[in-house]
Amino acid sequence: MRRRRITRRPTRGESIFGGIVACIMGCFGLFVMPIGFDPAITAFTVLWCLLAFGMGIYNFLVAAGKVRMGGYEITDEDAPTPRGGSDAQARLTELKSLYDRSLITAEEYEAKRRDILGEL
């Protein structure tokens, strides 16, 4: 069974835009939000600015190619197929059932049985 995983990553333009928006939010925190009136508000303002400028720097690093991002990543993964005696036994049982119901000829039965036994 095949699984497909698609991961979308931001492009260079989106990263630049995100960096600009984050820096604008950081400047909003520096110049508009109050500092000094209440310790809780000051702590929130400092945290706001650190996070906003941190996100801006990260987005600019992604845009510069320092951090691997961009575009789509499509990964096809094959689910592991069990191999072993029980699998071969089930295949041989199914093959015998097809032969007994006259859905395959004796030559086809023998050829496929040799293939299954040869895989062991």
| Domain regions of the chain by residue span | 2-78, 85-118
Query: What is the C-alpha separation between 101 and 35, in angstroms, rounded?
Result: 85
For residue 79, give the DSSP letter.
P
Whether residue 62 has pLDDT greater than 90 = no
Each residue of 70-97: pLDDT tens digit?
Answer: 556 666 665 555 555 568 888 899 899 8
Average pLDDT for the chain: 82
Q: What pLDDT shows up at residue 35?
A: 78
Give pLDDT, residue 83. 54
In this structure, what DSSP letter does residue 104 have?
S
Whole-structure pTM value: 0.51
Q: How confident is the model at residue 48 (pLDDT cuts 50, 70, 90)?
A: very high
Nearest to 62 by CA among 21, 24, 10: 10
Decide if pLDDT at 66 tops 90.
Answer: no
Cα 109-112-116 angle, rounded to 5 deg: 130
At 64 the pLDDT is 85
Alpha-carbon span 74 to 15, nearest angstrom: 20
Whether the CB-CB separation of 117 and 93 falls below 8 Å is answered with: no
* Continuous H helices in 1-120: 12-31, 39-64, 85-100, 106-118
